Structure 1
Amino acid sequence: MTTVVQHAGVLGSPIAHSLSPILHSAGYAACGLRDWRYGRREVTAGELAFVVGTLDDSWRGLSLTMPLKEVAFEVATTVSEVARSAGAINTLVRRADGGWDATNTDVTGLVASIAHVEHDGRARVLGSGATARSAVLALAEVGVEHLTIAARNPATARDAVALAEAVGMSASAIPLESWIEDPVRLVISTLPGTASVGVGGLLSEAGRDFVGMTVLDVVYADWPTPLARDVRRAGGEVISGLDMLVHQAAAQFELFTGVAAPVDAMMAAGRAALC
């Protein structure tokens, strides 16, 4: 009997740095899914529709990273409510009719990463892009009621503020350089690693400690980031973006394969790859 290999993979640009193949492959190995393969492919926004259209029925799922999370609406047959609200798709799941169901597991990954963090109903998001909108939904899910979005240009945070208000939070936008004013206990940074240079430095300039603050930095490569180092020096706690990455990948794994994800094995593989 000929074995049919099932395929999944991550698309984006740049993509060489992605840990997704390591995480998913570790999951296949732990679950004994010998007929599953997970790869990566460099795909720009303008190429996505063509690439997806060339995939045969052995392709069961796709993980999407930048710059594809917003253009993926063009190739989706159905879109989940969470993806529509976030305005971002990071997961495509093959349908029986050959189409693609789209969703967003970034929100799942964010919730899993911060669910244990105590807060006083207030939180702050650094950045205003697609991941920031996912962060808004995650914060609403863990009970945050008052949110500020800190962005280099506060005008770019309008969509994130509107989303926060739509899900029942009070929200406002502030300049990024004001992010440590009126400190909150829970912060999610969606800034690229290089963009956080100087942002964390504002903590030391404040002349006080920030014990009790927890920052989830969604970056996982080149850890710790400048922001993570500065938060720790100021007495705060930091959650690595690897936590979010693994938990969102675990949600994708289950959608693609129909098998419960071995989160511990996937986390161990991610940590080993970053050592």
Structure 2
Amino acid sequence: MPAHLQVWGDPIAHSRSPQLHAAAYAALGLDWTYDRRQVDEASFVTALAGLDESYRGLSLTMPLKGVAHAAARTRDRRAALTGAVNTLLLSADGPHGFNTDVGGIVRDLGEQGVSAVSEARIVGAGATATSALVALGELGAEGVLVSARRPEAAEPLVGLGERLGMRVRVEPLGTPSAGELELTVSTLPGGAAIAPQDADALAASGGLLYDVVYGHWPTALAEAWERAGGRAVAGSGMLLQQALLQVRIFVQGDAETALPGEDDVLQAMRDAADAARMGD
């Protein structure tokens, strides 16, 4: 039976989700549609209530992850921990909320050769930093250093770390590390300005820079890592992997069960992402 899906956000014209999802459903032989809709926080509840039964699910991007969390009838563990829902599975008994950003980070870091980590750093203290912290917890991190422009904004991450059994310390952005780190996850927006001396101080600790952006590349931090002779990776793989988990949810109802022929589905999505980048 045909079904409709959409990605909502404000702004939304930049989203590559339609290309990724369309490729997945074509590979699965499903006659489903997936498109964009600009929705802001103020209109979210009304827009959600206005959907008819042909709609199977929604992907949510900024600034809707908090209001989607509030609207969800149930939430998976990752959504409950982060307070952010980026996926709603629509059903007769109400919307069910999921956070696939966490799994997207974990899966893509695995593709980058990082399957476990002990000590790591997060740059930034916004909503994406919360997902990054939960992802690091799933990778076994015992200690996480949070570098933030406003250290007070990172206090909720300290509390979340305690719930996850992790030591979380907060420092001003650009503070030199006392030692080598295995991994730095940057959650700063792609176009965020950062003073060169602050970027260089962060890069001096070494390790992999995983920059959770898929535009504005290279970022100021990625350039600093290059100057320091380090390795920097963009977050385009995270976008792909979290979208795959969304497809699992929309097709099967959960994020943990692999799709039939999932390797072929993922390759179709990867090809679509490559084609979209070539068209930029």
TM-score by length of 2: 0.89
SS at match of 1:5: coil
| 2:262 maps to 1:268 | no
**1:273, 1:181 → 2: CA distance?**
41
* Aligned match of 1:155: 152
How do residues 1-275 of structure 1 correspond to structure 2 at under 5 angstroms? 4-33=1-30, 35-95=31-91, 97-115=92-110, 116-117=113-114, 121-178=118-175, 180=177, 182-195=179-192, 197-198=193-194, 202-204=198-200, 213-258=207-252, 259-260=259-260, 261=262, 262-275=265-278
Q: Structure 1 stretches of 5 or more lacking a match?
A: none
Q: Is the 8 A contact 2:17 2:243 kept in 1?
A: yes
Q: Is the 8 A contact 1:7 1:38 kept in 2?
A: yes
**2:103, 2:267 → 1: CA distance?**
16
1:76-120 deviation line (CA, Å, top 9, x unaligned): 11122210111111110012x241100100000010112322766
Q: CA deviation at 1:19?
A: 0.7
**1:182, 1:72 → 2: CA distance?**
40
Higher mean C-alpha displacement, 253-262 vs 37-46: 253-262
Counterpart code for 2:272:
A
- CA RMSD between the two structures: 2.0
Q: CA deviation at 1:201?
A: 5.2
Higher mean C-alpha displacement, 220-229 vs 142-151: 220-229
Q: Is the 8 A contact 2:120 2:184 kept in 1?
A: yes
1:217-267 deviation line (CA, Å, top 9, x unaligned): 111013222322321232211222111100000000111022445112212
**2:176, 2:4 → 1: CA distance?**
43
SS at match of 2:174: helix
Counterpart code for 2:163:
A
**1:273, 1:257 → 2: CA distance?**
24
Q: Is the 8 A contact 2:118 2:140 kept in 1?
A: yes
SS at match of 2:215: coil
**1:119, 1:163 → 2: CA distance?**
20
Structure 1 27/200 Cα, relative in aligned 2: closer, same or farther at 3 Å? Answer: farther
Q: Is the 8 A contact 1:126 1:149 kept in 2?
A: yes
**2:76, 2:187 → 1: CA distance?**
22
Higher mean C-alpha displacement, 23-32 vs 6-15: 23-32
SS at match of 1:29: helix
Q: Is the 8 A contact 1:200 1:231 kept in 2?
A: no
Q: CA deviation at 1:5?
A: 2.5
**2:12, 2:46 → 1: CA distance?**
18
Q: Is the 8 A contact 2:176 2:201 kept in 1?
A: no
Structure 1 62/120 Cα, relative in aligned 2: closer, same or farther at 3 Å? Answer: closer
Q: Structure 2 stretches of 5 or more lacking a match?
A: 253-258
